[in-house]
Amino acid sequence: HPLQTTTTTNYSTQFKMSINLYPDEIHSALLGDPEYTPEIDDACETIHEATKGFGTDERALIDTLGSKNTIERYLISFRLEKYGKELKELMKSENSGNFGFLTQLLSLPAPEADAKIIRKATKGLGTNEELLWSVILGRSNEEIRILKKVYYQRYNKDLISLVSSELSGDLKKLHLACLQGMEETYDPSYHNASKAEEDAVEFYKKGQGKWGTDEKALFHTLCKSPPQYLKMMDDAYVAKYNVNLEKALEKELRGKVKKAAIFTVGMKLHPYETIAEHIKSTCAGMGTDELGLSCAILRYQHILPRVMIAHVNLFSKSIGERVADETRGDYKNLLLEMIRVAWPGAP
C-alpha cells in the first residue's frame, strides 16, 4: 500500500487532530428553533403521502429522504411532528429489510444513527465486532463525547460499560482506550521530532522489541497521539526499524484486533483512504455485508467526496460503481441517491 510506506517529512498537510465525521451543525448540538424552508415542508408532505394508506411509495422515499443531507434530514424529522408522526417510527413500520433499516438510519440525527448502529452490533447473541469498531475507533475526542452522551440518553446504558461487557481481550483494551477521548491537542513545541523519536523507540520496546507484547501501552500511544505527531512517530519508526507502525502492528497482533488497530492508525494518518478500504471490505468475499455498507455510506456521507476520490485512486473504480455491482432494487437506488447527494457533480 503506497500510503503505508511514505516517509515524507513534510507535515504541513497532515491533520493536527482526528477528523470529525459529523457536520459542524451537529457539533453545535443546538438547532434552536430553526426556520423551516419550503423545501423541508415539501419533503415532509411527500413522505406523508408516500406512507399513508395501504402500501408504501418507495420511489418517493428514495427521491425525498435519500436526496437530503444530514442537516436537512434532521429538520425533516422535527417538522414531521406536525403530522403527529415520528420519522424513525414511520420508517420502521413502513419498510423492511436492508432498505428498511437504512431508511431508519436516515430518519435519525447522525449521532443517534451511530448509537442505533452500536445497538444493532451488540444486541442479541454474539457481537458484530467489526461493525462496532467501525463506529467507535478513530473518532475525535468531541465525537466520542457526543457518542457516549447520546447512547446513554437513548438506551439508558453507559457506552463504556456496554463495550466492557461485549468485548474481551485486546479488542476490549483498544476500544476502551479510544472511548477515553484522550487525543492530545497538537503542540509543535511539545510534539517535536526529538519526542517522536523517543516515543518510536518506546513503541518498539513495548511491541516488536519485547517478548510478549504490551498491547495496552501500544493502544494508549495510538489513541493519545494527534495525527500530525503520529506521522512524525511513524517516520521515526521507519528510519530506525525499516517498517512503519502499521506493519509493526501487523507483526505483533492477531485476528480482529490487528485489523481494528490498523484501522485506528489509518483513521489518523490517511483517513479518506482508510474509509475507502473499509467500504471496499464490506463488498469483499462471498456476498455483500449490506449492514456494514449501509452504515458506512451513512456515517461517512458528510466527507464522502474525499473518500470517493481516494477510492478511485486506490481501486480504479468509483464507490457508485461498486454499490451498483453489489446491491439490488430499492436498496441500491437509495444508496446511489445518498452518494449522488454527497457529491452531485461526481464524475
Q: Give the least confident one: 21-25, 40-44, 55-59, 150-154.
A: 21-25
For residue 246 the three cell numbers come to 502499521
49 pLDDT tier (thresholds 50, 70, 90): confident
How many CB atoms are closer than 10 A to CB 308? 23
Q: What is the pLDDT of residue 83?
A: 67
CB neighbour class for 164 (10 Å; exposed up to 12, middle 13-18, buried from 19) = middle
- Only one residue has cell 436492508, namely 98
Q: Are 18 and 138 in contact (CB under 8 A)?
A: yes
List, for residues 323-341, the tens digit of each pLDDT value: 999 999 999 999 999 999 8
- Only one residue has cell 513495548, namely 206
Say what the pTM is: 0.88
DSSP line for 5-34: H------TTS-SSPPP-S-HHHHHT---SP
Q: Who contacts 299 (Cβ-Cβ below 8 Å, separation ≥6)?
A: 21, 110, 113, 114, 117, 134, 135
Residue 135 corresponds to which amino acid? V
Residue 62 corresponds to which amino acid? I
How many CB atoms are closer than 10 A to CB 79? 19
Q: What is the pLDDT of residue 4?
A: 37
Collapsed DSSP state (helix, strand, coil) of residue 287? coil
Give the pLDDT mean for 171-176: 98
* Chain length of the chain: 347
Q: What is the pLDDT of residue 34?
A: 64
List, for residues 252-283, the tens digit of each pLDDT value: 999 999 999 999 999 999 999 999 999 999 99
pLDDT at 53 over 80: no
